Structure 1
Amino acid sequence: MELAKKAFRIFADATEAYHQTDNVDTPCPNPYGEGTFEHVLFAKNWVDVVQWHLEDLIRDPAIDPAEALVLKRRIDASNQVRTDMVEQIDTYFRDKYAGVAALPDATINTETPAWALDRLSILAVKIYHMNAETERTDADEAHVARCRGKLDILLEQEKDLTAAIDMLLADIEAGRKYMKVYRQMKMYNDPATNPVLYAKK
């Protein structure tokens, strides 16, 4: 099985596992051995699906402002974890293909393999929830029909994205593409680069 298709299966399994409890505080029940690439992929999707539900919670118009602030800080922390995990996955690919010599006409891709997998992970969460919308018995038929149409598009995106990721990896392995990893260097989380934070020192 191509890597992207395998990754999507792991992402879908993690999303399904989350919904066994549907609780943002449930510990991640990772079935893969620590240190394996599969373990990282499962954990990555768990972060994404938990954050999806945190984003739902914070949009409650009746939410207590103090609770909203706690959730916002949790979402910010989750975003940092997500970025760190993407960079961890890119490090895996960079090490894996370190010995590949780029061809003279090799080109760089607009995004790294890990950021493409990040999109695939979030797509798995979208597909799960859109499918759930098509199965609602408390919604009218027009809503269900709209969601069926959206689900069809998401499933098409899954096919296109998995194929594109596997093609990118094949191109890197053959030297037709080469990787450069740019760290995100988020400034607002860093007390040395966020002026609101360093002004308080």
Structure 2
Amino acid sequence: MNFTETAWNIFNTSIEDYHAYDDVNTLINNTFPKDSLERILYAKNWIDTVQWHLEDIIRDENIDPAEALQLKRRIDSSNQHRTDLVEFIDSWFLKKYENIIPKPAAKLNTETPAWAIDRLSILALKVYHMSLEANRASASDEHRAQCQAKLDVLMAQKEDLCTSIDQLLADIENGDVKMKVYKQMKMYNDESLNPILYQKGQQK
């Protein structure tokens, strides 16, 4: 089994585990071995899955404004955790490939392995939920047909993305691609970089 097959299976395990409860307050139960990449991938998708449903909840037009603000704060925090974990996955790959010497003509990729894996995790969620819609008994035939067409596109995208990720990892391993990582440096959660936050602090 290649890397993306393993990752896809882990993502879907996380999604199924979450939907056994379907509650954004459900605590993660990650049974993969400590320090393993599998454990990290499961945790990554769990964050994505919970956030997917938080985004659904906050779009309720009848939501209480105070609850919406709390959810927005929670989503912001989730986004930061998501970014931190993606960067941790890249650190895992940097360690794995630390002894690989890139060839003189090695190319740079537009995104790192972990950010491509991030897209695969989100895609697994899209496939899961679109499949539910394509088979929802209470929906019209037209709705199910439209969702099935979209699901077909998502599955084609999954095949292409998996191939691209596996090719990228192979190219890094054989020295044809140089792995280079930049931190995302998100500013909105940093009290020293977000002017709304640091100006508020100066006014105290």
Shared topology, TM-score over 0.5? yes
CA distance in 2, matches of 1:40, 1:46: 10
1:17 counterpart residue number: 17
TM superposition shift of 1:137: 1.1
Deviations, residues 35-67 of structure 1 (Å, cap 9, x unaligned): 111000001000000000000000001000000
Post-superposition CA distance 1:95-139 (Å, at most 9, x none): 111111110110000000000000000000110000000111111
SS in 1 for 2:167: helix
Deviations 1:162-191 (A, max 9, x none): 111000000000000011110011111111
Query: What is aligned with 2:95?
Result: 95
Task: State the aligned residue count.
Answer: 201
Q: Secondary structure of 1:42's partner?
A: helix
3-state SS of the aligned residue for 2:90? helix
Match of 2:55 in 1: 55
Query: Structure 1: which 5+ runs fail to align?
Result: none
Alignment of 1:113-124 (within 5 A): 113-124=113-124
CA distance in 1, matches of 2:69, 2:200: 20
Deviation at 1:33, TM superposition (A): 1.6
* 1:73 alignment counterpart: 73
Matches of 2:4 and 2:105 in 1, distance apart? 25
CA distance in 2, matches of 1:29, 1:196: 37
C-alpha displacement of 1:14: 0.6
- RMSD over aligned Cα atoms: 0.6
Residue identity matched to 1:65: P
Q: What code does the residue aligned with 1:180 have? A: K
3-state SS, counterpart of residue 186 of structure 1: coil
What residue is the counterpart of 1:145 in the other structure?
145
Cα distance in 2 for partners of 1:12, 1:158 equals: 13
- Matching residue of 1:182: 182
Deviation at 1:140, TM superposition (A): 0.5
Paired with 2:187 and 2:59, the residues of 1 have a C-alpha distance of 26
Q: Matches of 1:76 and 1:55 in 2, distance apart?
A: 11
Structure 1 partner of 2:2: 2
| Counterpart secondary structure, 2:200 | coil
Tell which deviates more after alignment, 132-141 or 81-90.
Answer: 132-141
User: How high is the TM-score relative to the length of structure 1?
Assistant: 0.99
Using the alignment, how far apart are the partners of 1:63 and 1:159 within structure 2?
Answer: 38
Distance 2:140 2:22 in 1: 24
Q: Per-residue CA shift, 1:49-88, capped at 9, x if unaligned?
A: 0000000000001000000000000000000000000000
